[in-house]
Amino acid sequence: MIMHIPPFSPKKPYDTFLFDPEERFGDMLYYMYPYKMDMNPAAMVCYFPAAFLLLEPLVLSGKFALPVYLAISFLGTAILIYKTLEVGSVREKSYFLAAIMLSYPMMFVLDRANIESFLLILVLLWWRMRSAGKELLAALFLGLAGAAKLYPLLYLLPDLVKFRWYRLFLTAGFAALFSLLGLLLLPESMAESIRLISRGIKFWHVVYVDRHNGVPYSTSGLSFVKFIIAVCFSGDINFARMLIRLSIGYWRIAAIAGIVLMLLAGWKLRNREDWRLVFVASAAMILLTPISFDYKLLHLFLPCPLFINSKSASTDFIFAVLFGLLLIPKAYYFIPIFISTNVFINPLLICLVFIFVLRSPRPAPLS
């Protein structure tokens, strides 16, 4: 399924700020198609092997797959976020939860029926178990998330900069185990399934990155760069295309530089509040992957309640405003005709939060 180029109708964006009003739950249909056609899902679904473990409950649900997905995604996220909040009255927690559940990334992921919501639930479970000292369960949940899409393993940043090797190796072990189980779940041999998964990842990289179908509704740093090039050099299309090809070719280097920056920031923040390290990892997940649709903003749902739980500081209001701006829709205008303002605004907001995370003063000690 190749992303359509918005706007989809003369009324858009006034009839919806989401993807396509004529295609609800499109990702769910895409997930189920190879199973219905008795195909190896590795030939179509662009995920790592453990993702098929997450899809299996939906496959077993048959015609109830969509209700099961919506129930797990909505209720699981709501319950875990509510439990993650440690401050405030029941009413205050309910207001915050309502705002989160009606936020742009939550509506976007439910509108697409994408399994990114399952990854969020696994990450929230990881944090809950980690906070409760249940190391084995914490590593299990994060290992499964990381084996499904790889980038959730960046949440190991707090443990990495604090040299908690047991957590690192335990999570890596679970990630390897779930990858193996995912391969065993597929109908063909492991070698053939690996070949199909590799081919699928390369194919969708061409579709979404090289052919730019991943730019609309994207928060990737690469989409931001493409946007800047398209706007600044709109008068010279050939030169703009050359620059965009260069940006794609060198993005791996930029991503490595971003990982290094993440590690340096993590080292600087290693003795600060946990939410700062979690946000740095979330920002790296969202910005550094070349394909990063707006539902990946879901991963701000963990640093947000952790920020609320943290001690008061002079910059609290600034952080609250910036988090709020990140979680509201901004796809009301398209520049040029097929790139929404999300592509430009969201990466800038994430970078701005990152700067404040690094520069904001330590909270004053309690008297």
Task: List, as own/partner pairs, every contact residues 212-215 make where C-beta atoms lie below 8 angstroms and the sequence separation is at least 24, other chains included.
Answer: 212/244, 213/2, 213/3, 213/5, 214/3, 214/290, 214/291, 214/292, 214/293, 215/338, 215/339, 215/343
Predicted pLDDT at 367: 41
For 128-154, what is each residue's pLDDT tens digit?
999 999 999 999 999 999 999 999 999
Q: What is the mean pLDDT of the chain?
A: 89
AA letter at 238: N
CB 219 within 8 A of CB 294: yes
Q: Quick one: pLDDT at residue 315?
A: 64
Domain range list for the chain: 26-359
Looking at residue 336, what is its pLDDT?
59
Contact (Cβ atoms closer than 8 angstroms) between residue 50 and residue 182: yes
Q: Cβ–Cβ contacts within 10 Å for residue 188, how many?
A: 14
- The one-character DSSP state at 366 is P
Contact 204, 194 (CB under 8 A): no
Q: What is the 3-state secondary structure of 61-84?
A: HHHHHHHHHHHHHHHHHHHHHHHH
Residue 222 has what pLDDT?
A: 95
d(CA 226, CA 238): 14
Question: Within the chain, what is the greatest distance between any pair of CA atoms?
Answer: 67
Percent of the chain having pLDDT more than 90? Answer: 66
Mean predicted confidence (pLDDT) in 225-254: 90
Per-residue pLDDT, averaged over 342-353, amounts to 94
| Stretch among 199-208, 249-258, 297-306, 346-355 having the lowest mean pLDDT | 199-208
Instruction: State the Cα angle at 131 between 362 and 164, rounded to 5°.
Output: 80
Amino acid 40: pLDDT: 85
Residue 360 has pLDDT above 90, yes or no: no
0.85 surpassed by pTM = yes
Note the residue count of the chain: 367
Among 278, 289, 204, 284, residue whose Cα is nearest residue 251: 289
Whether 288 contacts 259, CB under 8 Å: yes
DSSP bridge partners of 334: 340
Q: How confident is the model at residue 329 (pLDDT cuts 50, 70, 90)?
A: confident
CA–CA separation, 347 and 325 (whole Å): 12
Residues 169-181: tens digit of each pLDDT: 999 999 999 999 9
Between residues 73 and 234, the one the model is more confident about: 73
Evaluate if residue 199 carries a pLDDT over 50: yes
CB-based contacts of 260: which residues, under 8 Å, 6+ apart?
Answer: none
Q: pLDDT band for 317, please (50, 70, 90 cuts).
A: confident
